[in-house]
């Protein structure tokens, strides 16, 4: 089937899955030329087989809340593609989780993992369980109930889950504990584990740090120094917080963070002391970002119900969720002089926003390249577990830097245009696709 026919066919078959179709359409339209250069791909119907997940598990999760009421949620695991290595990807707990969102994430993960150069296929899972306001015991009971189903479908060389929105060290610990109990094995089946039971140093920091390393590589192509640049970051979770951490260390001015209720604006940039306070508020106490603004009326403004994209910034690093920058937001960023966007979240820009960034020829990196540091260090965690070793922070950080540099080089190789502009969207998609495509061709029609 021709690439364009695959898109139309998927639209007909999955009309109620807009995020999945959005992700597929973006990849297919950018890899079309590379695909057409290989007639054998079409004979093997490669694109259609690459777009449709290998399999999907969907199950009911029943658990008991603190008031003794029986609750039910939906649980999912999408095993998208394992041509390059075992299925690998995070688990998301958020009220909005549905098949379309997890299918888009598993699809994106396949290309992202291909770019990392490590042996990992693509997967994603999750639940519409909403962790907000739940006690530790409720989260534990939910995680245990979720694992009574998921355990049978994963394993260290089968499928290795990790964190994502709503799933951090606490949840991974509870899920891993139940997995271990049910299987009688202590294997590296989850990544993002606690340091005492097989976790890797730098894994919590890896997505945010990796995104900044990727940004540094992009800025270096134009001889731009990060120091003093005004950076708007969205989100205030794992990815956003460590993005801000690294930016502050490098002398950039972090002017915003946000959560689903609103944004904080710090006109003079975040200090290290403020970062420590926000870390405690958001990551340890699970509070709201509004509380920080309330405590600091002199240096911080709260933008109720708003995203940070109307602020004047040099660089934007969306690190909250999908489709958080629409066409109008992108235009506002461009009008305010923003010259670089590096995505910490998965697919945070709508197709309209991507179009605007590419047309304006600013520096723009899609999530599957820029946020690949998280899953890369997950891959390094798997390697450490397989060797029964633990590497130092310096070793892991050095490997992360070198992986991000390598991903940048792949993007430039496949995305550089004749006028010198690097289309990182095309570069990431073609580089990611070619490796998966060759791996699939080498293994026959499955």
- Under DSSP, the state recorded for 422 is B
Answer for which of 235, 237, 374, 432 binds ligand 2IT (CB under 6 A) is 374
Query: Residue 166 binds which entry of ligand NDP, ligand 2IT, none, with Cβ cut-offs from 5 to 8 Å by kind?
Result: ligand NDP
238 lies in the site for ligand NDP, by CB under 6 A: yes
> Which one of ligand 2IT, ligand NDP, none is in contact with 141 (Cβ closer than 5 to 8 A by kind)?
none
Of positions 199, 344, 379, 415, contacts ligand NDP by CB under 6 A:
344
Catalytic residue (choose from 88, 103, 124, 282): 124
- What's the angle, vertex CA 107, arms to CA 93 and CA 202, rounded to 5? 60
Strands 340-342 and 363-365, by their bridges, are: parallel
Known active-site residue 282: no
**Residue 235: contacted member of ligand NDP, ligand 2IT, none (CB under 5 to 8 Å, by partner type):** ligand NDP
Q: How far is CA 218 from the centre of its chain?
A: 19
Q: Select the span of 8-16, 83-91, 383-391, 422-430 touching ligand 2IT (CB under 6 A).
A: 83-91
- The DSSP line for 80-100 is EE-SSSSEEEEEEE-TT--HH
Pairing of the two strands 253-259 and 87-93: unpaired
- Among all chains, which residue has been given the structure tokens 């940048």? 408
Single out the residue of 199, 237, 308, 366 in contact with ligand NDP (rule: CB under 6 A): 237
Residues 174, 178, 181, 187, CA torsion sign: negative
- HEC string for 231-293: EEECCCCHHHHHHHHHHHHCCCEEEEEEECCEEEECCCCCCHHHHHHHHHHHHHCCCCHHHHH
- When binding is defined by CB under 6 A, the residue of 30, 127, 274, 346 that contacts ligand 2IT is 346
Q: Containing H/E element for 64?
A: strand 55-64
Q: Does 175 bind ligand NDP (CB under 6 A)?
A: no
Residues 318-337 that bind ligand NDP (CB under 6 A): 319-321
Is residue 171 a contact residue for ligand NDP (CB under 6 A)? Answer: no
- C-beta of residue 374 within 8 angstroms of C-beta of residue 207: yes
Instruction: Say which entry of ligand 2IT, ligand NDP, none residue 191 contacts (CB below 5 to 8 A, set by partner kind).
Output: ligand 2IT
Residue span 136-155 as binding mask against ligand NDP, x where in contact by CB under 6 A, dash where not:
--------------------
Q: Which residues contact 116 (CB under 8 A, 6 or more apart)?
A: 372, 375, 376, 379, 403, 407
Site for ligand 2IT (CB under 6 A): how many residues?
A: 12
Candidate list 53, 86, 199, 374; residue touching ligand NDP; CB under 6 A: 374
Q: What one-character DSSP code corresponds to residue 362?
A: -
Near ligand 2IT in 179-218, by CB under 6 A = 191
Residues of this chain that interact with ligand NDP (CB under 6 A) are 163-166, 168, 207, 235-240, 259-261, 319-321, 344-346, 371, 374
Question: Active-site positions?
Answer: 124
């Amino acid at each position: 089937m021709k690439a364009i026919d695959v898109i139309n066919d998927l639209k007909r078959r999955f009309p109620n899955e807009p995020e999945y179709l959005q992700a597929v359409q973006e990849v297919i339209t950018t890899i079309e030329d590379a695909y057409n250069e290989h007639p054998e791909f079409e004979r093997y119907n490669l694109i259609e087989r690459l777009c449709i997940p290998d399999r999907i598990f969907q199950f009911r999760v029943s658990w008991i809340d603190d008031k003794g009421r029986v609750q039910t949620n939906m649980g999912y695991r999408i095993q998208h593609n394992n041509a390059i290595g075992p299925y690998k990807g995070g688990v998301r707990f958020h009220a909005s989780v549905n098949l379309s969102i997890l299918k888009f994430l598993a699809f994106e993960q396949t290309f992202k993992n291909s770019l990392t150069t490590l042996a990992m296929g693509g997967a994603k899972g999750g639940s519409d369980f909403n962790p907000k306001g739940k006690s530790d015991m409720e989260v534990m009971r939910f995680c245990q109930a979720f694992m009574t189903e998921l355990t049978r479908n994963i394993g260290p060389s089968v499928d290795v889950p990790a964190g994502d929105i709503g799933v951090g060290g606490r949840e991974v610990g509870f899920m891993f504990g139940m997995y271990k109990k049910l299987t009688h094995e202590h294997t590296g089946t989850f990544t993002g584990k606690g340091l005492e039971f097989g976790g890797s140093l730098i894994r919590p920091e890896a997505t945010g740090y990796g995104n900044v390393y990727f940004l540094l590589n992009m800025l270096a192509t134009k001889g731009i120094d990060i120091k003093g640049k005004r950076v708007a970051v969205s989100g205030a979770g794992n990815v956003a917080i460590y993005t801000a951490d690294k930016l502050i260390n490098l002398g950039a001015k972090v002017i915003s963070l946000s959560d689903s209720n609103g944004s904080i604006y710090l006109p003079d940039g975040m200090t290290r002391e403020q970062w420590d306070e926000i870390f405690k508020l958001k990551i340890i106490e699970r509070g709201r970002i509004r509380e920080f603004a309330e405590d600091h009326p002199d240096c911080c403004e709260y933008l109720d119900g708003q995203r940070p994209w109307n602020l004047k910034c040099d660089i934007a690093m969306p690190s909250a969720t999908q489709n958080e920058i629409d066409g109008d937001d992108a235009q506002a960023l461009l009008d305010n002089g923003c010259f670089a966007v590096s995505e910490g979240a998965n697919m945070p820009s709508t197709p309209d926003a991507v179009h605007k960034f590419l047309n304006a020829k600013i520096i723009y990196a899609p999530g599957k390249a820029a946020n690949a540091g998280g899953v890369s260090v997950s891959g390094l965690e798997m390697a450490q577990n397989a060797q029964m070793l633990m590497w130092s922070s310096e070793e892991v950080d050095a490997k992360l830097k070198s992986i991000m540099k390598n991903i940048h080089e792949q993007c430039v190789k496949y995305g550089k245009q004749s006028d010198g502009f690097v289309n990182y969207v095309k570069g990431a998609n073609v580089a990611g696709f070619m490796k998966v495509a060759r791996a699939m061709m080498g293994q026959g029609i499955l």
